[in-house]
Structure 1
C-alpha cells in the first residue's frame, strides 16, 4: 500500500506485499523498486498495511523513519542508511498484554502512527494492536512504552483496525483516534483518546449505525472552515464534526455505497487538485476509487473510476508528489499501481506500474 516519504524532495511510495520478491514492471522506465521486505510464505504472518501516518521522525533526530506492520506480533521501525543507500530495521517493537483475549498475549499491528501523541513537542509511535492501543517514546537507545489503553477484554470478534493522531476537537492539542470493528455494541467504532500526563483517557466516541467496521480514518479540514474533522468509512463515507457545546460528534454523510463497491476501506484526505482544500479519496474492496470535494455548501463526487478485471483497491491509496514535478499525484493500487494527476479539468493517468 502507499504512503509518502517526505525526507527527500522527490517523494517515494511503498508497496507492501504478502509474499517475497514481487517484481513490479516499469511501464516507462521511470519507477523501480528501491527496497522491499519479505514476510515469508506463511499467510497468517503476512505483510499488511494499516496506518495513515507511518512516516515521520519517530526518534526525533531530524530524519524520517518508516513503520511497517504485518500479521505477526511486531511493529517494525525502518530507517534510511545514507552510507549504504538502503533501509534497515532500527527497532522491532512488541507489546504482550495478558488477560484481554490475545492468543499468547500478543496482538498484531492493525494500525500505527508517528506523531506528537503526548503534546510534549516530540514525536512518539502509536500502535493499535487489536484489543489495545499503546505508545512508545525514543529514549536514546530504544522505544520505551509510555502507556496503553485497553479497548476490549472480550474474547469474541473484537479488533481495532487503525489509528490516527491529530487535533480532532480543535483545542490545540493532539488526540488519538482508534477505529475498529466489534461484535460488542457497547464498544465504539471511533474512539478518541488523549494523554493526561500519566495515562491515556477516553475523551469522546462515535458509534457507527448498524455496528459497521471502520478501517482507515483521516484527520483534516475538509470543509475549509478552519477546523479539523474526522473522515471515516462505514458503508458510507462520513465526516465527523466536533460540537463543543453538546460534547458530541455530528456526522455528515458524504456518500452511501451499494453492492458494486462492496465495502469502503481506504480514506485519504489531502489536496490533490491544487485548490488548497483537502479532497476525500476513498478506496474499496472493489477495484474502485472515488474522490469527493467540498463545493462550499456540500460534498460532491469529483471523480471516480472502476478498473474492471483488476483486484480491489482496499487501502492502497495516498497523495503526494511522487515524480518531483511539484504537482501532487494520486497513487492507487489494484494488482497494478495507477498514478493519476489533476490536469485542471479532471484526473488523468500518468503512469501504470
Structure 2
C-alpha cells in the first residue's frame, strides 16, 4: 500500500548512492552544517533575513544563479540547515552531490539510482501543487551515521504539467518522472526539520539511509580572512549618553564586590563598548589578567569569557559602536597564540571564531598585526 500511495502522489524518492557508506561532511554550496554563521560573510550581505524563534534564516543570490538559504540557531550561531535552489526551468549547474544537476536531472534518472522511496513525513504531503499548476515533489533521506536529513525537490512547470495531464489523463503520474527536474537540494539537522514536519515518519520497504559524499573535494570558497571580520558587522542600535549607574555590590552584583573599586573606577569614564558598556581589565599576576564589562545604563556587571591563567597575555580590542570584542591570548601549555572573536548581545556572549595565529611569542604583537597577516 505504501508503494502505491507514493506512486499516486507522484512521490518519486531519490537514491541510495553507490559510494561506500562513509558519512562525509554535509555541505551545500561549500558550506557545512555545524559551521558558524560568520562563514556566510563570504557571500556578502543577505538579500533577506527571517527570524523564527531561536532560528534565523539568511537568503543569498549566488553568482552562479543558485539561491542559498542558511539557517542558524541562537545563541550558538551554528548552521542547522542549508538549502540550494535553482529558480529557472533551464539547465543549471551541478548540485555538488554526485552527478545530480539542477534543471537537468529528472526523476526517471534519479529513480534508477535509488534503493527505496525514502521517508514519508505524516504532516507534510510529498506533493505540493501551486496555484498556477506547477507541481513540486519532496523526498527525505537520513544521512548515514549522522543526525542529518537530506531533502530533494523536483518540479514540473505548469505548462508541462498541463500537457502531461491532457495527454495521459488518469495515467499522468506514470509519465511525471521524465518531466520532473531537480530544483532544490538541502540538508538539515533532524531536530530542526521535524519542528515543521513533525516526528511521525513512515519508511518505505527496503529503506536505507544515504551516504553524503559531496562532489566538492574542497570548499568552493576561500578561507575567511580574519581581517574581513569588521566591527561594523555587529553594530549597536543605541548609544547611552546618560549618567553613569554603578553596580549593586550588595545585591545583584555582589559576586564582583571584591573588585568594587576597580570596576567603579573603570566605569567612571562612561561607555566604551557595545553602546553602553565599560570594559574593565584587572591583573592577576605576571602575564595574567581577567576582564569584566559593566553596563553604564543599568550598572549590571558581566564576566568576559576569556582571562586568567588559561588565557595569558590577554589583549582586548573593542569600540563603542560595535558589539564585537576581539581577544588575543596565549595558551601557555601549548605555547600558542590565539585571536578569538566574540559577539555581545544583552548580557550574552557568542563565541564567533577562534584562530591560531602562531607561537606564544606572537601574542606580544598587537591584535591588529596578527589579524592583518592571518589568511
Length-normalised TM-score, structure 1: 0.26
Ranked by relative contact order (alpha carbons within 8 Å, sequence separation 6 or more), the top structure is: 2
Larger relative helix fraction: 2
Length-normalised TM-score, structure 2: 0.25
Structure 1 or 2, whichever has the larger Rg, is 2
